[in-house]
Amino acid sequence: MALTEKEVLTLEATAEKIRETIIDMLVAAGSGHTAGPLGMADIFAAFYFHILVHDPKDPDWENRDRLVLSNGHITPVRYAAMAHAGYFPLEECRTLRKLDSRLQGHPERLRLPGLETTSGPLGEGLSQAAGMAYAARMDGKKHRVYCVMSDGEQEEGNIWEAVLFTGKHRLSNLTAVMDRNNIQIDGMTEDVMPLEPVADKYRAFNWHVLEVNGNDIPAFIAAVEEAKAIYEKPTLIIAHTIPGKGVPEIEFDYTWHGKPPSKEEGRRFLKELRTMKGRIRGEYA
């Protein structure tokens, strides 16, 4: 069923709140990753507020969908989305990366209810998600497994072992989402280690592949719905996103992959986000 205009506007507004929370928590932490989390805010708003079958009041509910975050360094966007969804108080976001905080720089499963895996070393998440999907099939479970991963981690060999396994077993209950933002810590992916034609590579391993604008919430949700209708193979959604989305001065700048804004930059970025939101809503003619 297509989203109504009101639903789209609500999800877009939620994504903007998530972006504002990301900036606030990174400034408070004084460390962390900025570009990737901002770029993925639309997708995480779609997941936590429309796609996932989940219950924030019962994070370990047996019939929940599983969301594996393979590129754990973008976890500020997941924490922000979870907080807005009601998993924990919003003010706890300001404890990001603090000693004894539940919100570590990479997600730790045993610290925070609602996390499916502990992630940090890149390339492992798809294997973990494949195991969950395979186990669900063996147990006759109907929940779905989603795996968010970066484009840069496609350089890891473990990814391709998982691609082989998942394709062989035709795990149609697994949907992988690749954040195709074209940056990694040392530069642009196509300069560091070219990935293209990445879609053809997955198709060759018996995957169904879709490409969408990852910052277009209705387009992303439509791709997820298509993935649910594919019964004979797993699906990869290549989500083309803008790193640093919402803050024009840092968009597509790979140097913001792994650094946080200062207090002054944070104030400026929040102003830019709110101004951009106002323009989108027609408040600034």
Residue 124 lies in a domain: yes
Count of structural domains, the chain: 1
Residue 214 lies in a domain: yes
| pTM flag (> 0.85) | yes
Handedness of CA 270, 39, 16, 111 (dihedral sign): negative
Q: Tokens representing 239? A: 């989500």
Distance of CA 197 to the CA centre of its chain: 22
Contact yes or no for 80/21 (Cβ under 8 A) = yes
Work out the pLDDT band at 97, boundaries 50, 70, 90.
Answer: very high
Task: Calculate ∠ Cα 46-47-50, nearest 5°.
Answer: 65
What distances in angstroms separate CA 77 from CA 12, 14, 90, 168, 185, one per listed residue? Answer: 15, 12, 13, 32, 18
Q: Which amino acid is at 97?
A: R
User: Which residue range is the domain that position 24 belongs to?
Assistant: 5-280
Work out the pLDDT band at 48, boundaries 50, 70, 90.
Answer: very high
User: For 133-148, what is each residue's pLDDT tens digit?
Assistant: 999 999 999 999 999 9
Task: Calculate ∠ Cα 181-184-190, nearest 5°.
Answer: 70
Residue 40 CB partners (closer than 8 Å, separation 6+): 74, 77, 148, 179, 214, 241
Residue 110 lies in a domain: yes
**What's the whole-number average pLDDT of the chain?**
95
Residue 285 lies in a domain: no
Residue 226: strand, helix, or coil: helix
Q: Is pLDDT of 285 > 50?
A: no
Residue 269 lies in a domain: yes
CATH of the domain at 234: 3.40.50.970
Residue 98 lies in a domain: yes
